[in-house]
Structure 1
Amino acid sequence: MIKTVLFDLDGTLLNRDASVKAFIDDQYDRLSDVVSHIPKQEYVDRFIDLEQRGYVWKDKVSQQMVSELELKSVTWDDLLHDYITEFQHHCVAFPNLIPMLEELKKRHISLGMITNGYGQFQMNNIDALGIKAYFDAIFISEWEGLRKPDPKLFHRALTKLNASKQESMFIGDHPDNDVRAASNLGMKAVWKRDDHSETVDADGVVDDLMDLPTLLDHLNNDQSIT
């Protein structure tokens, strides 16, 4: 019986692609006096390409943007500060995020989150989604000194939640950092389908977050049979 569900954040609960697009569109408009010599679509596309879905931190991205696009009246540090302070105002949740969390809480499921990233930045995004109160524990790599897929980070979360790996499930979009890491540990591993990846070997796949409670029922029924 699964009693604990842990989540990834980016690409799982937070629609990061949509959020980044909303942020960089707005940044271009707000900095139009600085960047107007660059076509908007070129500016947006280059930022998205350089940041590689969040796997390149924005200091490197900002430096490259300033250099490549010959931005004269703004520094890379200005762009980085703008990202850190403004991104939270453009966070887009995947559909049915809150109803899904509400349903799991009704079932008295313990909820946790394990996300890579910078501590306060990620916490600001969690607050922006309005979901912090649903979670019994949140683990952010910078604050923990560990990053997924390190099994020690998963063990730490399970210990904090007083949960056994056999009665826990992890859901995330990354084939290695999320799904394979959780599966290798002995947890049920669920893939939040991601257009950037091929089919992933997982205990279950969800396209819509509201599919998760039903999948949970199926996994629990399978466990009871075996």
Structure 2
Amino acid sequence: MIERLPWVKRPDLDGLTRYYELHDMTHARAMNHAVRTLEQCKALGLKLGIITNGRSEVQHGKIDLLGLRPFFGTILVSKDIDMKKPDPQIYRIALERLGTLAEETIIAGDHPRNDIGVQQT
């Protein structure tokens, strides 16, 4: 990005990183129908949780910006608990906090390797 974008004043890597860390969460947008889907899940009595890798302030900032926190019984951010997906223990913690069993639970992820450790071929 530093080399390719037409900067008025080109930042160094530290400056760009600081900007990203401060402002990334302010640009988050929920997918179409995300809130309505979460409302329906709650209406059905489903227990919902978030497990996300990343920095606490960024991930919590996005969740709060989007107003998603009330839909979830637990939110685990990897930096808050010093472990990250796909470590099985992070899933055990989520299950315990939600009061559910693994065999009663569905994981919806967006990255097989990061979410459950599956190597893509």
- TM exceeds 0.5? yes
Higher relative contact order (CA 8 A, sep 6+): 1
Q: Which residue of 1 aligns with 2:76?
A: 139
Q: Equivalent residue of 1:170, what SS?
A: coil
Partners of 2:23 and 2:85 lie apart in 1 by 26
* Partner-residue secondary structure (3-state), 2:107: strand
Distance 1:76 1:174 in 2: 27
- Show CA shifts across 1:16-56 (max 9, x none): xxxxxxxx8xxx68xx421xxxxxxxxxxxxxxxxxxxxxx
Which structure 1 residue ranges, 5 or more long, are not aligned?
1-23, 35-70, 185-196, 199-226
What fraction of aligned residue pairs are identical, expressed as a percent? 31
Q: Which runs of 4+ in 1 moved over 3 A?
A: none
Q: Which runs of 5+ in 2 are unaligned?
A: none
TM-score, normalising length: structure 1 = 0.47
How much has 1:171 moved relative to structure 2?
Answer: 0.4
Q: Tell me, what secondary structure is at the counterpart of 1:147?
A: coil
The answer to whether the aligner puts 1:156 opposite 2:90 as a matched pair is no
Give the CA deviation at 1:176.
Answer: 2.9
Superposed displacement of residue 136, structure 1:
0.9
Q: Map 1:31-110; keep pairs closer than 5 Å.
A: 32-34=7-9, 71=10, 74-110=11-47
The alignment yields a C-alpha RMSD, in angstroms, of 2.3
Number of the residue aligned with 1:122: 59
SS at match of 2:50: strand
The one-letter code sitting in structure 1 at the alignment partner of 2:8 is D
Q: Greater Rg, structure 1 or structure 2?
A: 1
| AA aligned opposite 1:89 | T
Write the deviation string for residues 133-154 of structure 1: whole angstroms up to 9, x where unpaired. Answer: 1111100111111111110110
For residues 89-123 of structure 1, what are the alpha-carbon distances to aligned partners after superposition, in whole Å with 9 as ceiling and x for unaligned? Answer: 21122221101000000011111000011111111
More strand by share: 1
Q: Is the counterpart of residue 165 in structure 1 residue 107 in structure 2?
A: no
More helix by share: 1
